[in-house]
């Protein structure tokens, strides 16, 4: 089965037909989640992974941000992942699937542990109990 779509997009990682990460011919990374598509530059992806990784530690309600990205964990255990003006609402299971999807995509893109983008290096994940320090970075 051949779709016109296939010529322009290469799927890097996928959960199912509706949720996957692809790369277009121009090199832009597309995170497709249901009806939403969020576009990132390849060098944004380590930051997305870092933010999601911080959100998966602990279980208290919190809000963490990193550049134009923000992740809020609400009291009910759900999450809102915000990229600029767009918010993606996720239940706990969806959130973990997204973390896994982004992690898989990063590995396949060759970002094992390197961070060679122009953003400040993210702080190491906090393992200690209690509230995270709320680091926010501005895009240059």
* Beta strand pairing call for 29-33 and 79-83: unpaired
More confident of the two residues 101 and 140: 101
pLDDT in tens, 50-87: 999 988 887 778 899 988 999 999 988 899 999 998 99
Kindly state the tokens that stand for 56.
């998966």
Distance between CA atoms of residues 140 and 138, nearest Å = 6
Distance between CA atoms of residues 25 and 9, nearest Å = 6
Asked whether the beta carbons of 22 and 32 are under 8 A apart, the reply is yes
43-57, 102-116, 125-139: lowest mean pLDDT where?
125-139
Distance between CA atoms of residues 66 and 33, nearest Å = 21
pTM for the model: 0.73
Q: What mean pLDDT is reported for the chain?
A: 80
116 pLDDT band, cuts 50/70/90, is: very low
Architecture of domain 5-109: Roll (2.30)
State the chain's maximal CA–CA distance in angstroms: 51
131, pLDDT greater than 90: no
Distance between CA atoms of residues 88 and 9, nearest Å = 22
39 pLDDT band, cuts 50/70/90, is: very high
Asked whether the beta carbons of 21 and 31 are under 8 A apart, the reply is yes
Q: Where are the domains of the chain?
A: 5-109
pLDDT in tens, 78-97: 999 999 989 999 999 999 99
């Amino acid at each position: 089965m051949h779709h016109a779509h296939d010529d322009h997009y290469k799927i890097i990682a996928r959960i199912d037909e509706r949720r996957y990460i692809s790369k277009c011919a121009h090199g832009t990374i597309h995170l497709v989640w249901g009806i939403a598509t969020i576009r990132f530059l390849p060098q944004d992806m380590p930051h997305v992974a870092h933010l999601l990784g911080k959100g998966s530690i602990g279980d208290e309600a919190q809000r963490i941000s990193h550049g134009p990205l923000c992740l809020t964990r609400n009291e009910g255990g759900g999450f809102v992942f915000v990229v600029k003006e767009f918010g993606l609402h996720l239940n706990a299971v969806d959130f973990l699937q997204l973390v896994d999807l982004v992690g898989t995509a990063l590995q396949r893109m060759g970002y094992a542990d390197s961070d060679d983008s122009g953003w400040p290096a993210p702080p190491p994940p906090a393992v200690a109990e209690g509230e995270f320090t709320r680091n926010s970075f501005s895009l240059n």
